[in-house]
Amino acid sequence: MLRAMLMGACTTGLFCAAFAFVISQIAPMLTNTQVLATSFVSGFLGSVVAQLLIKR
């Protein structure tokens, strides 16, 4: 169960990072590394919290 949750969270994080990279090309306010790291962490944590809340 934990492995499936982490895989889903990592997938969400990677998707968010790719999306943010595209957005950063349109509006380059931050460096690409900052945008990718922030988006991955945001997507990962958001997915974990959502999965925990849904299972309750």
43: Cβ–Cβ under 8 A, 6 or more apart, which residues? 9, 12, 13, 14, 15, 16, 17
Give yes or no for residue 56 having a pLDDT over 70. no
Q: What pLDDT shows up at residue 4?
A: 77
How do residues 15-51 score in pLDDT, each as one tens digit? 888 888 887 787 777 788 888 888 888 888 888 887 7
**Residue 28 half-sphere exposure toward CB, CA atoms < 13 A:** 4
What DSSP element (H or E) covers 2? Answer: helix 2-26
